[in-house]
Amino acid sequence: MEVNSANAFFPGTKFDKAFTTFQRRVCGVVLVDKSIFDATGARIPGYDLIGSVMTGAAVLIDFNYILMCNHTFKSISTAGGNSAMRDGKVKVVFFNEITAATVDSKNPVAETNRPFCLLRGDLEAWVGTNDSECNEDFAIVKIEWNGADFHKIQRSVKLPPPSFSASSLTGKNVCTILQYSASRPVASITKTSYSTHVAMGAVTALNQSPSDEFCSSKKSIYAFAEHNATFGSSGSAVLNEAGELVGILCGGGTLNGKRQIYFLPLDQIYSCKQVSKGITAGQHLTNIFNFLNKTP
């Protein structure tokens, strides 16, 4: 099931219009300055390419960090290295009903209605085991806000507790806040360039090992859900009916004869032992949860 964001609600479910409108605020699109792509002269794996702009998706998990796919993050590193992030050439834009004419503005003033932050993976980043997208395809990356732009959002996504288990999702509907590019629309739907869309479907399988262009076989830790997505959506938020972030979309595949999305459940990040800055990814995510849920 796919719907345009202007009508992104599902009557008779907890994923109603108020829910999806609220959740979309924490979901952003990753934009890489076109000069980075121009310098490489070739397509970078992990990105959908619209004109000269590379895109991906991310979700705000804390004032200081976003969660995205490792294959997207590695694409940025391959194309521009730490210098691109250090020089402010990689942004995450929220409220992103934006057009192809404005996505790559070099003047931040042109995007004052669309809060954004700079991706600072040159300073801090936690990724999956052995830094391989064939394992846990995620990256927790440090950000820096454009002025007081966080206050236009005023929140980060709701994380489940570290005790969360993906087994609780079996057969349940999940809501995915997707990012789409204009060049690959879902059939019969006219979409705004780089706009946010919503899909809903039941979780059909856990502990799967899907294959994609990056890996002939991923680690057997992924879940499938019965709806579709398209290029540009990697890193999109997957939410349960309680409004908790239960995973990030990593790709699409065929399961039991049906085209479905697959996502990395959040318990796999909580348990990840990959170390950065002297702390594991799982402990870092746990610390974020504890900080956001501490009693005043």
Q: Quick one: tokens of 152?
A: 């236009």
Rg (CA), the chain: 17
Q: What is the pLDDT of residue 5?
A: 58
Model confidence band, residue 295 (pLDDT cutoffs 50, 70, 90):
low
Q: What is the pLDDT of residue 101?
A: 45
Please indicate, yes or no, whether the overall pTM of this predicted structure exceeds 0.75: yes
Spatial separation of the C-alpha atoms in residues 25 and 155, rounded to whole Å: 8
Distances (CA, A) of 290 to 68, 127, 283: 20, 20, 10
Distance CA 66, CA 179 (A): 15
Percentage of the chain surpassing pLDDT 70? 78
Give the least confident one: 64-78, 152-166, 168-182, 261-275.
168-182
For 215-253, the pLDDT digits (tens) are 889 999 999 998 877 767 889 999 999 999 999 999 988
- 42's CB contacts (< 8 A; 6+ apart) are none
What does the pLDDT look like over 58-80, one tens digit per residue?
999 999 999 999 998 998 888 88
Task: Examine the pLDDT at 99 and tell me if it is beyond 90.
Answer: no
The pLDDT, as a whole number, for residue 104 is 39
Most confident of 85-94, 203-212, 255-264: 203-212
C-alpha–C-alpha distance, residues 263 and 280, integer Å:
21
Residue 48: predicted pLDDT: 41
The domain 2-19+158-269 having CATH identifier 2.40.10.10: the answer here is: yes
pLDDT for position 37: 64
pLDDT higher at 4 or 276: 276
> Which residue matches tokens 């709806």?
227
Res. 107 pLDDT band, cuts 50 70 90: very low
Q: Domain 25-152: which topology? A: Thrombin, subunit H (2.40.10)
Average pLDDT, the chain: 82
DSSP letter assigned to residue 266: H
Q: Do 2-19+158-269 and 25-152 have matching folds? A: yes
- First vs last C-alpha separation in the chain: 41
> What are the boundaries of each domain within the chain?
2-19+158-269, 25-152
**Is residue 162 within 8 Å of 289, Cβ to Cβ?**
yes
Question: With pLDDT > 90 as the criterion, what percentage of the chain qualifies?
Answer: 47
pLDDT at residue 269 is higher than 50 = yes
Is-contact 199 2, C-beta < 8 A? yes
DSSP structure class, residue 216: S
Amino acid identity for residue 200 in this structure: M
The more confidently predicted of residues 126 and 115 is 126
Which of 43-52, 72-81, 157-166 is least confident?
A: 43-52
pLDDT of residue 270: 98
The residues, ordered by sequence, that sit 6+ positions from 263 with a Cβ below 8 Å of its Cβ are 174, 176, 222, 223, 225, 238, 247, 248, 249, 250
